[in-house]
Amino acid sequence: MPDTFVTERLRATRMAETHGPFVAAMHADVALMATMGGTRDAAASRRYLLQNTEHWSRHGFGMYVLNDRRSGALVGRAGLKRIASEAGAHDGAFAAEIAYAFVPSAWGLGYAGEIARALVAMGFGLLELPGMMATVLASNGASRRVLEKAGLRCAGQAPSATGEPKLRYELDRAQWQAGQPVATGSDRCGMPGGAAPER
């Protein structure tokens, strides 16, 4: 994948060591990290950064840091992560996980949907992945809607380290190529969606 790309309102830049302060600030934000297992200290932030820069070196794709194109402000991070040994992949078919997170000041602006759609298109169009997946808290209705609008479908519950229910969303290459419609707002997992801010 390219080191940089743009969407309508966002500029994505390959995550690098220079982004350490921003990553640490995101990890220290209580509201932001509430749906991601809680805040992380400086050491954990350094490990996260190292893991993601190494991921880029090994696989040629990974996480990006996101700026608002108009203001230049740092607003979040997003990207694709290879699933280790395809462990947990549905029928061994899914090769990458979609991940994104935004600072609270950027919630509710539609950025998550914008970057999720771009990542889906790049994952299938550039990387020719067989499929993509994402996990989300069952209570995070906004993030679930983001994934549904990007074409992913709820495939059931996912493992949760905290005990709070999580859901798994999936989209395979054949479905993407066929442009199969996905009904948004419906609940294919039989669990209620909440009103959490869009991430």
Reported as a single tens digit per residue, the pLDDT across 97-140 is 999 999 999 999 999 999 999 999 999 999 999 899 999 999 99
Nearest CA to 77 out of 69, 90, 66 is that of 66
Please tell me what DSSP assigns to residue 162.
S
Q: At what angle do helices 141-149 and 111-125 cross, to 10 degrees?
A: 40
What would the DSSP string read from start to end of 68-96? Answer: ETTT--EEEEEEEEEPGGGTT-GGG---E
Nearest CA to 2 out of 168, 119, 166 is that of 119
Dihedral angle of Cα 64, 90, 117, 142, to the nearest 10 degrees: -90
| Burial environment of residue 128 by CB neighbours within 10 A (0 to 12, 13 to 18, 19 or more) | exposed
Please give the Cα distance from 142 to 79 (Å, whole number).
18
| pTM summary value | 0.85
Residues of the chain with pLDDT under 50: 85-89, 92-94, 182-187, 191-199
